Amino acid sequence: MKVLLTGGAGFIGSHTFVELIKDGYTPIIVDNLYNSSERVLERLEKISGVKPIFYKIDVCDKKAFRAVFKEHDISSVIHFAGYKAVGESVNIPLAYYRNNIDSTLSLCELMKEFGVVQLVFSSSATVYANNTQMPLTEDMPTGATNPYGWTKYMIEQILQDFCAADPELSVALLRYFNPVGAHESGLIGESPRGIPNNLMPYITQVANGKLERLSVFGNDYPTPDGTGVRDYLHVCDLAAAHAAACKYISQHKGCEIFNIGTGKGYSVLDLVKTFETVNQVKIPYAIVDRRPGDIAECYADPSRAKNQLHWEAKFGIQEMCRDAWNWQQKNPEGLL
């Protein structure tokens, strides 16, 4: 069965490609390479033994995108494509709304035109409004605090309405928590542009000397050690969740939401100390002011994914630190 991966050359998409091959699917990658590199394709072939079917297309370019639907009998789509930097979205909100919403509307219109009724969407825990009650469950209030989060929130609404209007549709909205790590081969991983916004890639660049020191954004939160607590999730576990969701939507109609997290929260200093121990490398850090917009805690109740997708995270924080460092050491400049 052919599964179309929009943004499939990216961090999550490339790991999902490997998982889908393992499960016997034929993934087709459509990516404009805005946030990824064509070099990932040769890496994917090395890992999976399969040369990826790849189209360098912007999903907003409906004419070019339609040609892919014409050429292949697509059974389902996983929609990864979208801009995803919280800070950047505050500076260029119109580009985020135009790109993330337009690409989704183009995709939905083409799915309708070609009778494709199965979709997995890459959503985010960022759509949860500033809840202080943890762990987060899928029925908790949603909202956002930045344009990136609002695009995810709006796309969830678009897809729920799309499903309500067409009972033949099957949609899974996967709310990712904090994806980190890399495939055990070290051939694919996270390649942030410029200075990393996210914690784990920042740590790995301190570890290899590219960056001097980690700034810990605040240690006065109401958490065990005062630093921010997050639900870090191995990217290979996240990839497996997409394969499980593909199976689920082939058997269930309607629109369902799933938290994809481990259900465990770790602080910034937990991650630093685990990284140092697992990889025998020192991570110098300094406590600085809080980052605007950050919350104290964010971690999942993943029981719905366990019960309905028959998925749960297998890797722990140690493997996440081990695999993130392995990738960084083998790819000091990433793959961009």
Q: How far is the CB of 229 from ligand WQD (least distance, A)?
A: 7
Q: Which of 29, 44, 109, 122 is nearest to 83 (CA)?
A: 122
Contacting positions for ligand WQD (CB under 6 A):
84, 86, 124, 126, 176, 178, 197-199, 202, 214-217, 228, 230, 268, 291, 294
* Closest separation in Å from C-beta 47 to ligand WQD: 24
Find out whether 330 and 186 touch, Cβ atoms under 8 Å. yes
Query: Which residue number, 109 or 294, has a Cβ lying nearer to ligand WQD?
Result: 294
Smallest gap from Cβ 297 to ligand WQD, in A, equals 9
CB of 71 to ligand WQD, least distance (A): 31
CB nearer to ligand WQD: give 94 or 286.
286
Q: What is the C-alpha separation between 91 and 95, in angstroms, rounded?
A: 9
**126 or 170, CB closer to ligand WQD?**
126
- Non-local CB neighbours of 297 within 8 Å, separated by 6+ positions: 132, 134, 221, 223, 228, 229, 230, 265
Distances (CA, A) of 59 to 50, 86, 150: 24, 21, 20
As measured in angstroms, the least distance from the Cβ of 79 to ligand WQD is 14
Chain position whose Cβ is nearest to ligand WQD: 228
* Whole-angstrom distance, CA of residue 279 vs CA of residue 103: 40
For the annotated catalytic residues, the residue numbers are 148
The pairs formed by 60-69 with CB atoms below 8 angstroms and a separation of 24 or more are 60/98, 60/99, 60/102, 60/103, 60/106, 61/106, 62/106, 62/109, 62/110, 65/30, 65/106, 65/107, 65/110, 66/110, 66/113, 68/4, 68/28, 68/30, 69/4, 69/110, 69/113, 69/114, 69/116
Comparison of 102 and 294: residue with beta carbon closer to ligand WQD = 294
CA angle 236, 239, 243 (to 5 degrees): 135
Distance CA 111, CA 239 (A): 23
CB of 164 to ligand WQD, least distance (A): 25
How far is the C-alpha of 208 from the C-alpha of 282, rounded, in Å? 10
Q: Alpha-carbon torsion 165, 167, 169, 174, what sign?
A: positive
